[in-house]
Amino acid sequence: MAVELTPAQVLALVPQQAPFRFVDEILEVDADHIVGRYTFRPDEGFYAGHFPGNPVTPGVILLESMCQVGVVAQGIWLLALEVDPTEVSRWTTMFSDATVEFSKPVRPGERVTIRGAKTFWRRRKLQARIEMFNESGELVASCVASGMGVRA
């Protein structure tokens, strides 16, 4: 009995939690794409050391945010089409690989929009092309990332 989850249901099923959840909302999701947002709060712990006096969001955190939307959340939506809704929460997405390019820094307080496009989904492995944009619509990072759904 598969279902199409709402954006709010998908967000509720994302396993990462504060202080390691880097997605505030899912705006759109379907079989081929997903759009989410996150605001990098000025009090996030990593800014204290990266870099004092001139804080910049670490690239690995940008990649994590892109993967939480474009691989984890999209994977949850796709999995719900294949398994009973009660089973979805028993699965988790394990990150497997990424190729990433950074174009602009993201500073404390900036809100970003993440857009993911499914490249393939088979045997519970998802690969997606994911882009992150700042509030001015400028590309700040892009990647091709993959993850595999495993039963927890």
pLDDT (0 to 100) of residue 152:
81
Give the span between the Cα atoms of 141 and 94, in whole angstroms. 21
Does residue 1 carry a pLDDT above 80? no
Helix (H, G, I), strand (E, B) or coil at 87: helix
Amino acid at 74: Q
Active site residue 50: yes
Provide the percentage of residues in the chain whose pLDDT is more than 70. Answer: 99
Q: With contact defined as beta carbons under 8 Å apart, do 148 and 91 qualify?
A: no
- Domain 7-151 in CATH 3.10.129.10? The answer is yes
Give the span between the Cα atoms of 142 and 149, in whole angstroms. 22
Give the span between the Cα atoms of 86 and 28, in whole angstroms. 22
Does residue 73 carry a pLDDT above 80? yes
Q: With contact defined as beta carbons under 8 Å apart, do 67 and 127 qualify?
A: no
Q: Find tokens 């009973």 and name the residue.
A: 84
- For the chain, the domains span 7-151
Confidence of residue 84 (pLDDT cuts 50, 70, 90): confident
Instruction: From the candidates 50, 104, 107, 129, give the one annotated as an active-site residue.
Output: 50
pTM of the model: 0.96
Does residue 85 carry a pLDDT above 80? no
pLDDT in tens, 130-142: 999 999 999 999 9
Give the span between the Cα atoms of 7 and 24, in whole angstroms. 11
**Tokens representing 94?**
């394990």
